[in-house]
Amino acid sequence: MSLGFLEKARSVGGPDAIRTHDLRLVKATSFQLDHGPIDGVILIFIRYASAYKINSIFMGFDIMKKEKDYDLIVVGAGPAGMTAGMYSVRSGLETLVVEKGIGGGLSNEAPVIENYPGFKGIGGMELAEKMKAQAAEYVAIKELEEVKKIELSEKEMELVVFTEKDSYVTNAVVLSTGTKHRRLGAKGEAEFLGRGISYCATCDGFFFKGKPVIVVGGGDSAVKEALYLKNIGCEVTLIHRRKKLRAERYLQKNLEEAGVHILWNSVVKEIKGDKAVRSVVSYDKESEIEDEFPVEGVFISIGEEPVNKLAAQMGIEMDKNGYIIADKSQRTNLERVYAAGDITGGVRQVVVACAEGAIAATSAYNDLLELSTK
């Protein structure tokens, strides 16, 4: 196995030396492309023979021959992935972050984040943009490029990441694919998606100013969505299936103070409309009374589901809810495959995702370093 940076680290020592040496090898590799492999090899030999130990030259030679593109590829550019990318490059690994949408993940949709240290209150999108700008100083983030498949290469200990546009060979992978919104399953939900039904108040709330809307759910997200919509001037009703909210106390207090109307013990049976949503049919489980009332917007916020297709395809162990099982070092059951962020379940908070991304990248660095010294 070729370990790019890490083998060079062994031969020349120290992070600064690694970077300089790597740049020279990149230049030599481009020479090889222009002038053919033999000339390239001779050039490398002449150029480095006096400067480095002989084994270092053969490592460089190996780098020229192999198809490996990266030491580490991070799949998903939410807070976990962006942090992993940044830590990985800073530790000296050749790294790429690949993202199917635009970076930021679901944090983009948080109306406000009040518990990310250093910011008393910041919009989710603004925080994600700040993270992206910082990460991009270090690592290339390929957006709008979905990873379709990850395979163990026939070449020993290499992984091939296939996207819809390209394929990349890497020594290690961090999966930070996050979660997606859970669907309610009510009649009319699919039909009116984008025509009054939304999963993101910050994205779509603006269109419902001054209009009656409902928010479905009782967790942190639902309460935050309800507060956001109330603040921008919507007439908000929260519908929750139980008599107790799951959301943190502080948010519940804010909800009460904002005077958001709550329908307890109720579920949405149907969403009705013509070209757009016009009403919902709710069912009170306690009184067993069905009611239909006019609304123009339905914001569904009933939790998330892991985006685990890649993990399943790779044979990564998951828990009964489909979240990747990772140890404290973010290692999965597959060697050199790590998981970070919401895809690992647990406490789903931006600060936790960032921490897991940092840990995953550090574990990858340590594992690759250890392999390179074997």
Q: Pseudo-torsion of CA 199, 205, 208, 213, nearest 10°?
A: 50
Q: Are 228 and 112 in contact (CB under 8 A)?
A: yes
Residues 128-187 within binding reach of ligand NAP (CB under 6 A): 184
Kindly indicate which of the ranges 49-57, 94-102, 275-283, 299-307 contains the residues binding ligand NAP, using the contact rule CB under 6 A: 299-307
3-state secondary structure of 11: helix
Kindly indicate which of the ranges 133-141, 202-210, 219-227, 257-265 contains the residues binding ligand NAP, using the contact rule CB under 6 A: 219-227
Closest approach, Cβ 48 to ligand NAP, in A, equals: 52
115 belongs to the binding site for ligand NAP (CB under 6 A): yes
Closest approach, Cβ 116 to ligand NAP, in A, equals: 9
Q: Which is nearer to ligand NAP, 24 or 241 (CB)?
A: 241
Closest approach, Cβ 239 to ligand NAP, in A, equals: 8
In one-letter notation, the amino acid at residue 100 is K
Residues 315-344 within binding reach of ligand NAP (CB under 6 A): none
221 belongs to the binding site for ligand NAP (CB under 6 A): yes
218 belongs to the binding site for ligand NAP (CB under 6 A): yes
The sign of the torsion formed by the CA atoms of 242, 243, 247, 252 equals positive
Count of C-beta atoms within a 10 Å radius of residue 37: 12
Count of C-beta atoms within a 10 Å radius of residue 270: 15
Closest approach, Cβ 222 to ligand NAP, in A, equals: 6
Pairing of strands 197-198, 179-181: unpaired
222 belongs to the binding site for ligand NAP (CB under 6 A): yes
Q: Which is nearer to ligand NAP, 52 or 264 (CB)?
A: 264
Q: Note the Cα 122 to chain centre separation in Å.
A: 19
Count of C-beta atoms within a 10 Å radius of residue 134: 12
Q: Which is nearer to ligand NAP, 88 or 301 (CB)?
A: 301
Closest approach, Cβ 316 to ligand NAP, in A, equals: 21
3-state secondary structure of 185: coil
State the Cα angle at 55 between 53 and 58, rounded to 5°.
Answer: 120
Q: Are 277 and 259 in contact (CB under 8 A)?
A: no
190 belongs to the binding site for ligand NAP (CB under 6 A): no
217 belongs to the binding site for ligand NAP (CB under 6 A): yes
Residue entry with tokens 């840990």: 359
361 belongs to the binding site for ligand NAP (CB under 6 A): no
Q: Which residues bind ligand NAP (CB under 6 A)?
A: 115, 184, 216-222, 224, 241-242, 246, 248, 267, 301-304, 348-349
